[in-house]
Structure 1
Amino acid sequence: MIKENKSENNFDLCKKNKKGILMVHFGTVKEEVRKKTLDSINMNIAEKFREFQVREAYTSRMIIKRIYKKEEIRKNTPKEALRLMAQEGFTHIVVQASHVINGLEGEHLKDELRYFKDDFQEIKVGEPLLTSPEDYIETADIFKREFGSIEGAVVLAGHGTRHHSNSAYGMLQTVFNMRGMEGFYVGTVEGYPALDDLIPQLRKKGVNKVTLVPFMIVAGNHAVEDINGEWRETLEKEGVSVEVIMKGMGELPDIQQIFVRHINRALNSEEENMGNKKDEILKSI
């Protein structure tokens, strides 16, 4: 649990501190997509936090391997990036992932951070895109501004997961509905709801035109193969006219701003030890 702490944080206590932000991305093999999304996010963070040095890491080892074979560029894993930052004398760091939900990738990242708890004076961790209720509301409003004038239904295609965090997609759909965005639908490629779950809803509403939009940070292989491929073909067989907007969320400045806000929150918050809090309750009896 994160507790807000508006007082001066340890990152500001000493001008001799060497402060860094490690941006962690799943990654993408597509160079042009990297430039429009992940590189753009990194540059935006560097612009907003000029007193920090910004580094990056990729979590997908397969993507790291494929980029190296294709471009001879070696992206670091989070462990490698943290090890280098420790060697370079960083004292205080914020680790901010561009993950959409609090899923398996985020859990694995936190496991990796435990190896470095003694290498830095302080490590802060920013939250994924969809964490607080405000995140869901803000994200819904961003999509309404970007795509609300489109004729027909807008179907957002997320990645999805078997992890319990997949429920985030259902919560986002609830927020859409409660904010009067009845023409917006959320589906997933590898979770629930799948496209097959959405089609009966589209039939019931008499939808004959759909715009597919990746609900992913990058419009990478999933967007090309699954959304612009299988999803488009399936809907067209249903007699639905389909358009695809091949644009990852990472390209949207307002989405990038949510990650900026999460870094600020991490800097001005402290993690609350629930174990100690529970033990304190029982000391009085």
Structure 2
Amino acid sequence: MKGHGNKPESHGAVLVVAMGTTQEEGRAVVDRCIELVKKTYPKADVEFAFNYEAVRLVLKENGEEVLSPLAAMTRLLDKGHSQVVVQPLYLTPGMGYHELYRIIVALNDLAGAHGAIGFDGILISRPLLMNTEDYFEVAEIIDGIYAGSLAEDEALVLVTPTSEGGADTSLCQMQMVMDDICKSGKIVIGAVGGYPGVERAVKRLGHVGAKKVRLVPFSLVPGIHAWIETSGESNPDSWKKALESEGYQVTVDEKALGEHEEIISVFAGRLKDAVGSHGFLK
């Protein structure tokens, strides 16, 4: 009835959250994920946010305003959406994922018919790796993308950037599952500033008899720092330089893992699981 302040009709909203990137290829991954979400849930309001303030400030200097996850969530609630699903474009449930989770828990304390805001709730979907079956699913995809193109004396090294801080246990589990899927052992997982580090990777490379190494950023939304840490020519501590100093012939793949369509498509499944768990986005 007019004059009673009725809420506008809503079919729910999806917020896609990435750490942040100023790189064209990284932004293409975010755009592709948004496109996939809109195709899957055409009635939902779909927005995105970047977690890193430094990235948001750079983009703002260039004339683009990108919201933080908190600002984006509250804006969706202000627009009248009572059901919001957050899909993080994160590799593991590391520090970034837990920061996001704390924001959602705090907002959900205000939910409910008698809550301070009065919305149904905010759901957070899984990152790429969380449940045991996630690791096997992703390991199969990685094996399918790379294993067949490796030379006999070549190994693949996937390196996570520092943005995946607190992910050591997930990466160790990923390596164990990867060994189950890729029997040659020629797919190696590593972490910048974490474990398994470059020394551990060198030991594994020696064990499988590799002479050549193909480096790939183990990143979903590649940013400039991922490339600098992996192969930056001006970075004396890059993995490329470290492996070359051990005598390996090193090449760097043109694509980060997240740029492959097979990986992007996984997030559609993650989102469907979250939506189905509470019957959101009807």
The equivalent of 1:205 in structure 2 is: 208
The C-alpha deviation readout for 1:159-207, integer Å capped at 9, x for no partner, is: 25553x4211111111111122511000001210111221122223331
SS in 2 for 1:136: helix
2:221–2:258 Cα contact (<8 Å) kept: yes
SS in 2 for 1:128: coil
> What are the residue-to-residue correspondences of 1:42-191 with 2, within 5 Å?
42-69=34-61, 71-117=62-108, 118=111, 119=117, 120-149=119-148, 150-151=150-151, 152-159=154-161, 163=166, 165-179=167-181, 180-191=183-194
1:37–1:248 Cα contact (<8 Å) kept: no
Q: Give the letter for the 1:145 counterpart.
A: G
Matched, 1:235 2:243: yes
1:37–1:218 Cα contact (<8 Å) kept: yes
**In 2 relative to 1, CA 224–159 (structure 1 residues): closer, same or farther, beyond 3 Å?**
closer
- The gaps in structure 1 that reach 5 residues or longer are 1-14, 271-285
| % identity of equivalent residues | 25
**In 2 relative to 1, CA 134–26 (structure 1 residues): closer, same or farther, beyond 3 Å?**
same
Q: CA RMSD in A?
A: 1.8
- The gaps in structure 2 that reach 5 residues or longer are 1-7, 112-116, 233-237
Q: Give the letter for the 2:160 counterpart.
A: G
Counting matched residue pairs gives 253
**In 2 relative to 1, CA 167–79 (structure 1 residues): closer, same or farther, beyond 3 Å?**
same
**In 2 relative to 1, CA 162–217 (structure 1 residues): closer, same or farther, beyond 3 Å?**
closer
Structure-1 separation of matches of 2:247 and 2:94 = 35
SS in 2 for 1:37: helix
TM-score (normalised: structure 2): 0.84
Structure-1 separation of matches of 2:64 and 2:271 = 28
TM-score (normalised: structure 1): 0.83
**In 2 relative to 1, CA 67–181 (structure 1 residues): closer, same or farther, beyond 3 Å?**
farther
Structure-2 separation of matches of 1:84 and 1:193 = 40
Moved more, 43-52 or 197-206: 197-206
